[in-house]
Every structure is written in structure tokens, then in C-alpha cells.
């Protein structure tokens, strides 16, 4: 029997306990022996809960129990979660987590510590919820040179955009629903401002390149500026709007990474990814494009990914199988030099001036301009991001919305 401990009995932690309870037979078969949740660490008590007796409040109980070989860190944050993870790995206990913030910030150090102590630091649930994307990149695509990863990596924002598009729903109302469904971060700013997607992009890009990718160096924009008018325009152009993560290895080897809303054609493989679903497109130099799709947030899909990591750790006790990435930093390309094309929204009275600033003339036939109510929207030519930003700076408030085209 393999004993494990779960740190944090919140949404994901209680999901992990539920997965081990419900799928005991399959899990024992796949792990080769029974996996037993010996401890649940939480500050709170849970009177009446079937696992009440296993709740402990002191992490040292877990740390000092040599019988515990795997720890699930489902606490979140980078404070106690970081300290407990380091202590567990230093004691030779493998750690499995859904904590993308911690992996993005300290993954390099924690992976190295796990390798030194012949155990594993696994974090499949940290990206794409229940989609088995990290193990796929590390194992199934290990013969590939990965050229690009593009995806929808945040369930909450995809849910919000989907409801805005399909039900013309109010932004605040949908965000509240996402929180109630257990999709959103404790501080939903991390979702809507793109920070959560940024951290996941850093993890994916690190795994794809084998180098450390600093999340702070990824250009990140959220969805708070997206309006129903943007969706109206997108729909007239047979397009939709998604918050995309993009990481591309350029010909010179530098990594071009960004997180931003994109207006993409309905025929694009990511255009129909709705609701809380995530999808990740991985382009390998031999394989070409592959697409992975599934539930990107929520208690049980995320917990299932944590539990699968526990099984992997249980099968590999005393052996590090999670390679991850090295301490060498990936060289980043500057997004200001990137060629992009944008959708621009402006008021009707400023339409002519604004369009002229980008095209040198006002010609809706060329810019594909459309009027809707008091607003006018058009597409710019392909231009360097720095040139686009400079024109926007000069136009000031005349530009009321801008979204990159895919
Ligand atoms: N808040 C995250 C999301 C949870 O909505 O995708 C899963 O990482």
C-alpha cells in the first residue's frame, strides 16, 4: 500500500480525495498497489465529513511520517505551498500539484530538488485542467522539436467569452457564475487579466523548449476590454474572439510568447472551443499540428490529473521520471517587432481619421470596415506591433477597442 497526503481540502484537494475514493479499483490496478489517503492537511476541521478523522493541522505530521511517499499540494499560492513542497521533496517524498503559480515561479528549483532526491515533482493538472498535455509533450512528443504551442488555457475566460458570444451575457454576471462553478481563481483578476494563462504558457513553453521561461517576460493582455460590440463585429466577419496563449520558437531560436485576445476565423480549430473547455495545439517539426481538447477547469477534471500524477509517482518510487526543464533561460524575442494585423473599433465621427492613420486613406472596401450603431470597426494592414502602438498612442481615446487577428 502507498500512503499519500493531500495538502488543502478545498475544491481540487477534495476532488483528489473523491477520485481516490470513487476509482479505487482502477487506481490500484494501474498503480500496482492500493493508494491510501492517510492525511488531509487543512487549517479547518470538517465535522461530519467521511474523511474527518484524517484531517491534520500540522504539516510536520506528514513530513515526519516515513510511510508517506507522495504528497498532493492543492493549497495554491506561493507561500506555505512553496515551503511545504520544498520540505517534502527534500525528504524524498514526491509532490504532485495543480498549482501553476508555484510551478511557473519555482518549477526550475523544485524539479532540480526532486532529481537530487530521486523523487518527482509532477504538475499535469497545472495546465489545461484534465487535458493530459504535459505528459504528452514530455513523453509522446519526445522525438519532436516543438516549434509552436497555441492554446486556450483558461476555462474561466473561455466561459465568459463564450457566454458573451452565445447569450450576449453580461460580463460580471458570467464571472460570478464561473466562480460559483469553481472555475475561477480565488482572485479572479488572475483569470480575466490573463495572468493565469501567462503562467500556464510559461510552463508549456519551458517543457517544449527544455529551458526556463520567465512568466514575467511574456507579454500579457486580458479580456476586460472586450465588449459585446466586438463580438457583433466578429460575427459579421464570420469570426470569434478567444483569449489565446501563443509560444513560438523562431528561426533564430528565440521564443516569441504572448497571451492576448485574438479575433479568429470560425474555421480555425480553436474557434469552436466553447464553455469551460481548453484546447492546446502543438506543432512539432516532424509531426506537424496536433490538437488536444478537454475540460480546462473544475474540481474533478483537475483532480483526475493530480491523481494520475500520483499513480505515476507510485509506479516510480525512488526514480526521477519527470524531466521537466533545465535552469538555462530561454532567450525571448521582443513582441514589439512582431508582425500583426488588428481589428480596431472607433466612434463613427472619428472613423475616417482613425482608418486613415493606419491605411493612409479611408476606404472601407480595403479595410473591410463596418458600421454598427454609433461605432465603426475595421482591420488594419499587417504591421509591426511597435508601429501599431505608436499610431494608437497618437490617436489616444479615438481608438476604443483593438484586437489582434489570427
Ligand atoms: N482559474 C483556472 C481556469 C482554473 O479558469 O482555467 C484552472 O487552472
pLDDT digits (tens, 9 = 90+) for 27-49: 999 999 999 999 999 999 999 99
Q: Are strands 342-347 and 375-379 parallel, antiparallel or unpaired?
A: antiparallel
* 192 touches ligand 1 (CB under 6 Å): no
Q: Which residues of the chain have pLDDT under 50?
A: none
Element (H, E) at 149: strand 146-152
* 340 touches ligand 1 (CB under 6 Å): no
Residue 242 has, within 13 A of its CA and on its CB side, a CA count of 28
How far is residue 145's CA from residue 282's CA, in Å, rounded to a whole number?
11
* 297 touches ligand 1 (CB under 6 Å): yes
**pLDDT score for 234:** 97
**pLDDT score for 176:** 92
**pLDDT score for 270:** 98
Whether the Cβ atoms of residue 329 and residue 212 lie closer than 8 Å to each other: yes
**pLDDT score for 356:** 98
* 294 touches ligand 1 (CB under 6 Å): no
Assign 150 to helix, strand or coil: strand
Q: Which atom of ligand 1 is nearest to the CA of 183?
A: 5
Share of the chain above pLDDT 90, in %: 98
The residues assigned a catalytic role are 200
Q: Which atom of ligand 1 is nearest to the CA of 200?
A: 8
- Residue owning the nearest CA to atom 7 of ligand 1: 297
* 126 touches ligand 1 (CB under 6 Å): no
Separation of CA 375 and ligand 1 centre (Å): 33
Separation of CA 183 and ligand 1 centre (Å): 5
Separation of CA 114 and ligand 1 centre (Å): 26
Site to probe by mutation for ligand 1, drawn from 156, 279, 300, 304 as the one with most ligand atoms within 8 Å of Cβ, is 156
How far is residue 220's CA from residue 258's CA, in Å, rounded to a whole number?
6
* 296 touches ligand 1 (CB under 6 Å): yes
Residue 365 has, within 13 A of its CA and on its CB side, a CA count of 0
Whether the Cβ atoms of residue 322 and residue 134 lie closer than 8 Å to each other: no
For the chain, counts of helices (H) and of strands (E): 15, 18
User: Cα torsion for 216, 133, 10, 35, to the nearest 10°?
Assistant: -130
**pLDDT score for 388:** 98
Radius of gyration, alpha carbons of the chain: 23
Grid cell in block for residue 271? 474557434
Amino acid at each position: 500500500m502507498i500512503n499519500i497526503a493531500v495538502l488543502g481540502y478545498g475544491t481540487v484537494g477534495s476532488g483528489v480525495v473523491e477520485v481516490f475514493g470513487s476509482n479505487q479499483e482502477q487506481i490500484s490496478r494501474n498503480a500496482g498497489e492500493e493508494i491510501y489517503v492517510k492525511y488531509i492537511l487543512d487549517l479547518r476541521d470538517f465535522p461530519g465529513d467521511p474523511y474527518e478523522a484524517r484531517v491534520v493541522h500540522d504539516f510536520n505530521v506528514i513530513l515526519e511520517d516515513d510511510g508517506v511517499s507522495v504528497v498532493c499540494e492543492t493549497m495554491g499560492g506561493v507561500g506555505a505551498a512553496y515551503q511545504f513542497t520544498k520540505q517534502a521533496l527534500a525528504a524524498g517524498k514526491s509532490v504532485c500539484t495543480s498549482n501553476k503559480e508555484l510551478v511557473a515561479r519555482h518549477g526550475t528549483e523544485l524539479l532540480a530538488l526532486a532529481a537530487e532526491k530521486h523523487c518527482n515533482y509532477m504538475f499535469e493538472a497545472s495546465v489545461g485542467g484534465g487535458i493530459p498535455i504535459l505528459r504528452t509533450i514530455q513523453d509522446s512528443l519526445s522525438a519532436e522539436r516543438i516549434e509552436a504551442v497555441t492554446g486556450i488555457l483558461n476555462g474561466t475566460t473561455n466561459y465568459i467569452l463564450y457566454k458573451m458570444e452565445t447569450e450576449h451575457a453580461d460580463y460580471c454576471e458570467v464571472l460570478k457564475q464561473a466562480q460559483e462553478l469553481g472555475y475561477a481563481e480565488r482572485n479572479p483578476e488572475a483569470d480575466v487579466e490573463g495572468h493565469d494563462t501567462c503562467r500556464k504558457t510559461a510552463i508549456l513553453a519551458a517543457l517544449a523548449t527544455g529551458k526556463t521561461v520567465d512568466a514575467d517576460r511574456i507579454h500579457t493582455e486580458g479580456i476586460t476590454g472586450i465588449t459585446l460590440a466586438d463580438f457583433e463585429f466578429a460575427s459579421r466577419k464570420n469570426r470569434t474572439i478567444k483569449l489565446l496563449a501563443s509560444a513560438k520558437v523562431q528561426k533564430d531560436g528565440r521564443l516569441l510568447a504572448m497571451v492576448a485576445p485574438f479575433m479568429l476565423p470560425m474555421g480555425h480549430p480553436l474557434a469552436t472551443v466553447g464553455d469551460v473547455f481548453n484546447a492546446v495545439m502543438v506543432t512539432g517539426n516532424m509531426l506537424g499540428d496536433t490538437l488536444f481538447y478537454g475540460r480546462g477547469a473544475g474540481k474533478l477534471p483537475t483532480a483526475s490529473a493530480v491523481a494520475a500524477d500520483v499513480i505515476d509517482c507510485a509506479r516510480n518510487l525512488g526514480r526521477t521520471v519527470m524531466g521537466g526543464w533545465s535552469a538555462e533561460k530561454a532567450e525571448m524575442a521582443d513582441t514589439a517587432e512582431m508582425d500583426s494585423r488588428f481589428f480596431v473599433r472607433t466612434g463613427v465621427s472619428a472613423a475616417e481619421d482613425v482608418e486613415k492613420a493606419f491605411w493612409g486613406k479611408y476606404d472601407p472596401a480595403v479595410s473591410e470596415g463596418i458600421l454598427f450603431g454609433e461605432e465603426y470597426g475595421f482591420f488594419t494592414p499587417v504591421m509591426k506591433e511597435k508601429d501599431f502602438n505608436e499610431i494608437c498612442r497618437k490617436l489616444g481615446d479615438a481608438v476604443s477597442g483593438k484586437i489582434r487577428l489570427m
